Structure formats: C-alpha cells, structure tokens
Structure 1
Amino acid sequence: MSGDKKPSVYKNFLIGGAAGMFATSCIQPIDFVKVQLQIKGEGQKGVKSSPITIARETIAKYGVRRLYTGLDSALLRQATYTTARMGIYKTMMDWGNEKYNNRVPVWLKGAFSLAAGGLAAIVGNPADLSLIRMQSDHTLPPEKRRNYTGVGNALTRIVREEGTLALWRGCTPTIARAMSLNFGMLGPYDQAKEVLQKQFGNFTGIGPASSFIAAFFACVFSLPFDNVKTKFQKMIKGPDGQYPYKSFGDCFTKSLKSEGPLGLYVGFFTYVTRIAPHVIITLLTTDFLNSRFNK
C-alpha cells in the first residue's frame, strides 16, 4: 500500500475500485450465504444453520444463479464504496509518507483507516442497501417481497416509494461497520508489512502474510456491525405499520437482548470465508496494480 513514489491521486481511486470489483466478483456467492445466515438467526438464540446446507438448498430450489443475486448492486457498491475508501486512504498515506519519510505512525494509519471507511460508507450506502434487500427478498412472505429486477430498478423504486433519503437508511450501522472493517484492514496491513520488512527484510510472501493478518482483524472488528446493518437495512414494516427497529442503537440493543452477545457473531466462519478472501484479494490486487501503473 505504501511506496517510495507518489502516484497520481486519480490512480489511487481507480486502482482501489478495480481491485474491489475484482474481489467481489470472486466471492459474491459466499456473501449471499452470509446474508442468509444472518437473517435466519435474527431474534433467535442458539439457532444454527450450516452455510453448506443453505448453499445446497438454494441451488436445489432456485439454481446456481441465485447465489449471484445482487451482483450488479455489489459491483456498484465497490465502484463507489471501495473506490472511495481505498482512494482516500492511499491518498492520505501518500501525504503521510511524504511528511514522515515513509514512517507513518501507527496511530495515524488507524486514523486514516477510520476516516476513509466512514466517508466511503456514506458514498456507497445506496448500493449497499439495494444489495441487502435483493439478497433477502426471497426470505419474505410473497405478499411483502419487493421483487426488484436489478440495481437500477431497486434504486429508482426506493426513491419513488420511500423518498430520496431512504437510500441512506441504515447509514449509521454502515458507517460503523465500514470504519471497524477498515480499521482492522488498511492500517494493520501497512503496519504488518513495515514490521515484517524490518524483521525479515523483503521476501515474496510479505504481501500475503500481511494481508492474512489484516483480514483477521477486519473480521473480528466488523462482524457485529455487519450483523446489525443487515437486519436494519432489510427490515419491512410490521402489521402496525411500524419498522421493528427505530435506530441503529435500538437494533443493536434488541439484538443483544434477544440473541445474546454471541448472536452478533452468528455466521462468523461464513463471514471469515467471505471477508478474508475479499480483503486479501483487494489488498494484493491493489499492490499489484500500484506496482504496474505507478512506476
């Protein structure tokens, strides 16, 4: 992520977005299964579902294509969210490397990670909202399904039926999740590379080793927020005309009360299987593209 040469700012954003879109194309089926696990566990203690079972049942009932539900939304999210977070972070790091002679303090890397994640989450929330709704639509009763035909249809209908600001419903948990994920992903990746280089010098496995470390921290920090975000964004009005959760805090509190603390980590191994490869592919692809286009 860091380097001796300062690249053009626009390349930071293009490279980050391209890396995120490539990673998403690879892991979209895993993300679909992760969302189904979180939905099945909502409001219930001790309910366990196997990701393999969910994948098998989905394929048997709907076909393999169902695992790619919301891919257009996911790619749009990467084109907005990941383009922004990777571009902002890399641009901040370029400034930091220049100011601190390629020795950016670890606290500043953390601050850059948090800022990039929070700002990017605001940009990417509309696409993220449509993705969650498309992936969870088939779990609703037929009369309550939205039946979006694609990301464009989802976005236009949300604006028409619920108002423009509805595109940012769940923005608070999205920001919290993005900040926690980026805090565990971006800063630790650069810090791990710096420490490993200092201890062992340059070796071919430094990038993969650092990306594994970053992926672990990203998963642990972000899953509780991701769980709450999924519930908040896919909710529909009840018979009384009210949404089940009034706010992010209300959703978080009710989840703790009804499912217990471990409920926030439901689907942990599926989440790791989904997030870790995405983090690793994104980081390594970003490094590869930076080495090719920022010479």
Structure 2
Amino acid sequence: MKSDFPLLPKIVNGGIAGIIGVTCVFPIDLVKTRLQNQRIGPNGQLMYRSMFDCFAKTFRKEGLFGMYRGSAVNILLITPEKAIKLAANDFFRHKLTDENGRLSIPKEMISGGAAVTTPMELLKIQLQDAGRVSAKGAIEGGEAIVATSATAIALKLIKTRGILGLYRGTTATMLRDVSFSVIYFPLFANLNKLGPKRKDGGSVFWASFLAGCCAGSVAAVSVNPFDVIKTRLQVLNKAKGEVTYNGILDAFIKISKSEGYGAFLRGAGCRIMVIAPLFGIAQTVYFLGVGEFLLGINKTN
C-alpha cells in the first residue's frame, strides 16, 4: 500500500526553488527574448550579433535594472508554476509507480506531460522586449516606443480583447511546455539515479544539480522552435514594418520563408544558459527538502 503523498512541502519546495532560480538567470532570459524577436533590417543586418552583444548593448543603454525588466511579473508567475510543476511531476510519478516500485519510461513521460502549467508569459514578453522595440524605432528615425508597465499592458488587453487577451499564445506555450516536460522529467529522473545518495536515500545536492542542468539543456534545445514561435506570437508592440502572425502555422511558414529554418534555433544558447542553471538550482533546492525543513517535517517519516 502506497503512503500518502506529502503535497504541501513539495509545493513549498517548488515555490522557493522557482524564486531562487529565476532571480539568478533572469538577465539571460531577457537577452533570449530580444534575440528571438529581432528581425533582419532593411540593410540586411541584425540589431544584435550574438547573446554577448545583446547583453552588452542592453546593459550599456538600460543599466542593471534594465536587465531585470519584467522580472517582478516573471517571479509572480514562475513561483506558482515551479511549485505546481515539480510537485505535480512527483505526485504523478508516485501514483503511476507499481507495487514493486517500478516506473516505465512511457509512464515517466506521462508524469512529465501531466505536470505542465501554462504561465501567463505575455506580460513578461512585452516588458522584456520593450527596449529592443524602442531602440529599433530610434535607429530607424521613428518614434521610440516608451516602455509600459505590466498593469498598463494587462488593462489595455482586457479593454481591447477581453480577459482571453491575457492568454494570447497559450496554445504555443502548451506545445512548448508539454514537449519540454515529456523530455525533461524522465531524463532528469534517470540521470539523478546515477549519482551518489545520502543516508536517507535522497540524492546529494551536486548530483541533482548536474542532472537538472543536463536534462534542462537537452529539453531546452529540443523545444526551442516552439519557444521562438510562442515569443513571436506574444509580442504586441512591434517596431515599424515587423511582421504579424495569425497563429502557430502562419508563424512557422512566415519565419521559415523570410528568415530560414535557422531562425527557429535563435536564442537556443541563451535558453541553455537559462534553463540549465534554473532547473539545476530548482531541482537541488527541491531535493534538499527546504519545504519540509520550514514546515518542521521529518523527511524520513
């Protein structure tokens, strides 16, 4: 007979892991968003030549606080997302494990896919990309678009498109996140099994960290095309002359025709630099049992 699943401490673990992880890697995520959204200009050049060029230009123009543009929204979203996602994966693995303690690869993939949540990333994307759109407008001689707040964006969307406007790009987000989770969670679990264990049977912190980094890197690159499409669909404030898209298929066709298939890997390096440490940190904090510690629960019970 399976014991009850300790859901509350798992959720606390996931929430704390999300806050720590996103704070550490957010500037890289901002660079990733701007790289994915940039288009080839009239002269055939790109605004940013590489992730390092984008980071340097953004930091020089907007400063340290500019590198964290949209971070409050992201922390607000990522905390419940990580809390639910990590705890849900453990919950489904617990339920699908047979009486002999075995869990097949297909069931591991089901557990990962079932753990998906759809965070409202649209507000984060607008805030992260505001500097790129403003800079492009200034370079091309047009009016620079003034960066707005998450509240202003949300109110404008609700007024013009209704409450569903806040969920623009949800299908693309689900496509990316389901695919990511199906790859990531089984891969992490099997890599984590290879590492040394503590006396209580849990993994040592560095083994969970490395397993999270490796699994996150593989999954991040695998789903990067979906992330590019999602990001393009969620951008509302576009610079003059930039293409608009009417859904996932339309975005795929237009991007592949105008920019080539290589555009779907744009920002992949940044995604690795974001996802690898984010999930490495998150899994380490999660497996260390911070939630159990804060709630005064003995993990061995």
TM-score by length of 2: 0.82
Q: Could you tell me whether the CA contact under 8 Å between 2:32 and 2:271 is conserved in 1?
A: yes
Q: Please say which of residues 45-54 and 209-218 is displaced more in the overlay.
A: 45-54
Of 131, 138, 162, the residue aligned with 1:138 is 131
Shift of 1:29: 0.6
Q: Deviations over 1:235-271 (max 9, x none)?
A: 458999x981111121122212222222100122222
Structure 2 CA distance for aligned equivalents of residues 280 and 89 of structure 1: 16
Aligned length: 281
Unaligned runs of 5+ in 1: none
Give runs of aligned pairs for residues 1-295 of structure 1, distance below 5 A: 6-41=4-39, 49-97=49-97, 99-117=98-116, 120-121=117-118, 124-125=119-120, 128-140=121-133, 141=137, 145=145, 147-149=147-149, 151-195=150-194, 204=204, 205-236=206-237, 244-289=244-289, 292=293, 293=297, 295=299
Q: State percent identity of aligned pairs.
A: 23
The residue identity in structure 1 corresponding to 2:277 is P
Unaligned runs of 5+ in 2: none
Structure exhibiting the larger radius of gyration computed from Cα positions: 2
Q: Please say which of residues 253-262 and 271-280 is displaced more in the overlay.
A: 253-262
Judging changes above 3 Å, is the alpha-carbon distance between structure 1 residues 86 and 57 closer, same or farther for their aligned structure 2 residues? same
Q: Please say which of residues 81-90 and 29-38 is displaced more in the overlay.
A: 81-90
The residue identity in structure 2 corresponding to 1:10 is L
Q: Please say which of residues 6-15 and 23-32 is displaced more in the overlay.
A: 6-15
TM-score by length of 1: 0.83
Q: Deviations over 1:205-228 (max 9, x none)?
A: 532332233122222222111111
- RMSD over aligned Cα, in angstroms? 3.1
Judging changes above 3 Å, is the alpha-carbon distance between structure 1 residues 42 and 91 closer, same or farther for their aligned structure 2 residues? farther
Shift of 1:294: 5.7
The residue identity in structure 2 corresponding to 1:136 is D
Structure 2 CA distance for aligned equivalents of residues 276 and 78 of structure 1: 15
Structure 2 CA distance for aligned equivalents of residues 102 and 20 of structure 1: 29
Q: Deviations over 1:9-31 (max 9, x none)?
A: 23322321221121001111111
Shift of 1:158: 2.1
The residue identity in structure 2 corresponding to 1:102 is G
Q: Please say which of residues 222-231 and 267-276 is displaced more in the overlay.
A: 267-276
What SS class does the counterpart of residue 68 from structure 1 fall into? coil
Q: Deviations over 1:172-214 (max 9, x none)?
A: 111111112222221211122235579xx98745323322331
Q: Could you tell me whether the CA contact under 8 Å between 1:13 and 1:86 is conserved in 2?
A: yes
Q: Deviations over 1:96-142 (max 9, x none)?
A: 23x3443211111111111212xx01xx12xx110001111223347
Judging changes above 3 Å, is the alpha-carbon distance between structure 1 residues 175 and 43 closer, same or farther for their aligned structure 2 residues? farther
Return the structure number with greater helix share.
Answer: 1
What SS class does the counterpart of residue 148 from structure 1 fall into? coil
Q: Could you tell me whether the CA contact under 8 Å between 2:203 and 2:287 is conserved in 1?
A: no
Shift of 1:63: 1.2
